[in-house]
């Protein structure tokens, strides 16, 4: 329409440019190879610049040139009718439901792992943050739905999600640290700590470990969302201790990460809230055992709790001696 119904060279050139863009877009839809598609757009942009700079573009909008463009337009229309474009190679748009956010989080987790393996820490760190936010949206929506229903609340349903959020945070924090991030590390360290604590059946109390392990023996284990098999009480207890140790170590190595959460959110307190408020709470998370402590005191307390949990775990099951020694080294560094 711009090339025929409206007069003026500028309108004709805009119409030709739109036609050329549509032609490239159509050819792209039939290419399965993404590298070939990138070459297509590069060559297409070069041809457009060449045609415009040499004056051929004006000739294509007049007389015989316009007929040639029209004939090519008819040919492209026939291609559309006779050929099926390749399936669009992108994930479906995430749903706004809790399950939709959960699936988006797991997809982001896989992408982040691949990006980290390919030596792209900046992109991986951003993808980890995106995945954690999707998990937090899932948590917020699930808790709001439980609060609005007349059925009894189901707090255990979120345990695998809390575990996944803690595991993603422990995996992503070193990647964020690699690019010398400060605010993201500070926020996600607290979010990881809170999620691990909420998944922990002992709530960080070593004297409950034996009872929790015994109670877990005869029950059906929950399914972990990270593909590592059944989600046992032992796994969740160890994860909570590892999260404490990770945060304590970061605070030792990076004094700028020692900050006082104001206002603090005691993990587990309060009712269901929207995602924005839930995110703010998790970023200001403080464990109940650390309430009222200064940043240095909190750092020491987290390391102490990690040591005590790993010591008790080592008495009950094997395989945590190295974790215990690492925690003791961090605690010794803090006390030095």
The residues pairing with 285 across neighbouring beta strands, listed in sequence order, are: 265
How do beta strands 285-286 and 265-266 pair?
parallel
Q: Closest Cα to residue 101, out of 220, 280, 279, 281?
A: 279
pLDDT digits (tens, 9 = 90+) for 298-324: 999 999 999 999 999 999 998 899 999
Q: Write out the E strands in 77-206.
A: none
* Interstrand relation of 222-223 and 230-231 (parallel, antiparallel or unpaired): antiparallel
User: DSSP character for 155?
Assistant: G
Residue 221 predicted with pLDDT over 70: no
Q: Is 210 exposed, middle or buried (0-12, 13-18, 19+ CB in 10 A)?
A: middle
Q: What is the mean pLDDT of the chain?
A: 83
C-alpha angle 77-79-80 in degrees, rounded to nearest 5:
65
Report yes or no: 2 and 18 within 8 Å, Cβ to Cβ: yes
**Structural element, H or E, at residue 328:** helix 321-335
Contacts for 139-143: CB closer than 8 Å, 24+ residues apart: 139/165, 139/278, 140/272, 140/273, 140/274, 140/275, 140/278, 141/97, 141/98, 141/101, 141/275, 142/98, 143/271, 143/272
Instruction: Determine the angle formed by the axes of helices 295-316 and 321-335, rounding to 10 degrees.
Output: 160
Tell whether the model's pLDDT for residue 253 goes beyond 60. yes
How far apart are the C-alpha atoms of 222 and 203, rounded to whole Å?
18
* Alpha-carbon separation of residue 225 from 106, 168, 170, 174, 191 (angstroms): 8, 10, 15, 21, 18
The whole-angstrom separation of Cα 213 and Cα 316 is 9
Q: How confident is the model at residue 161 (pLDDT cuts 50, 70, 90)?
A: very high
Exposure class string for 230-247: b at 16+ Cβ within 10 A, else e:
ebbbbbbbbbbbbbbbbb
> For residue 213, what are its two tokens?
């392990």
pLDDT in tens, 116-145: 999 999 999 999 999 999 999 999 999 888
Q: What is the pLDDT of residues 35-75, one digit of tens each?
A: 677 777 778 787 777 777 777 666 766 667 777 777 777 77
Q: What is the pLDDT of residues 162-214, one digit of tens each?
A: 999 999 999 999 999 999 889 999 999 999 999 999 999 999 999 999 999 98
Distance from C-alpha of 44 to C-alpha of 23, rounded to nearest angstrom: 10
- Could you tell me if 276 and 296 are in contact, meaning their C-beta atoms sit under 8 angstroms apart? no
């Amino acid at each position: 329409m711009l090339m025929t119904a409206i007069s003026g060279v500028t309108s004709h050139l805009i119409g030709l440019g739109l036609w050329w863009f549509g032609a490239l877009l159509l050819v792209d839809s039939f290419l399965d190879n993404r590298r070939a598609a990138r070459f297509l757009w590069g060559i297409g942009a070069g041809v457009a610049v060449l045609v415009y700079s040499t004056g051929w573009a004006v000739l294509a909008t007049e007389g015989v040139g316009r007929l040639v463009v029209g004939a090519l337009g008819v040919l492209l229309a026939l291609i559309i009718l006779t050929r099926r474009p390749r399936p669009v190679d992108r994930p479906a748009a995430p749903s706004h439901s809790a399950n939709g956010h959960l699936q988006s989080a797991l997809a982001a987790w896989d992408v982040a792992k691949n990006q980290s393996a390919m030596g792209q820490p900046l992109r991986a760190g951003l993808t980890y943050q995106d995945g954690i936010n999707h998990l937090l949206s899932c948590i917020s929506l699930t808790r709001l739905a439980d609060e609005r229903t007349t059925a009894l609340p189901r707090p255990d349903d979120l345990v695998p999600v809390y575990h996944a959020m803690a595991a993603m945070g422990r995996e992503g924090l070193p990647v964020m640290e690699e690019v010398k991030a400060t605010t993201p590390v500070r926020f996600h360290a607290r979010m990881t700590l809170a999620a691990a604590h909420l998944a922990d059946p002992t709530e960080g109390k070593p004297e409950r470990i034996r009872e929790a392990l015994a109670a877990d023996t005869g029950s059906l284990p929950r399914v972990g969302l990270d593909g590592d098999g059944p989600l046992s009480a032992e796994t969740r207890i160890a994860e909570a201790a590892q999260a404490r140790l990770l945060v304590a170590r970061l605070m030792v190595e990076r004094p700028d990460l020692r900050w006082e959460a104001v206002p603090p959110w005691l993990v587990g307190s309060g009712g269901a809230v929207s995602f924005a408020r839930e995110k703010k709470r998790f970023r200001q998370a403080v464990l109940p055992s650390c309430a009222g402590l200064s940043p240095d005191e909190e750092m020491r307390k987290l390391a102490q709790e990690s040591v005590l949990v790993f010591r008790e775990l080592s008495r009950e099951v094997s395989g945590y001696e190295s974790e215990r020694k690492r925690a003791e080294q961090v605690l010794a560094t803090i006390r030095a």
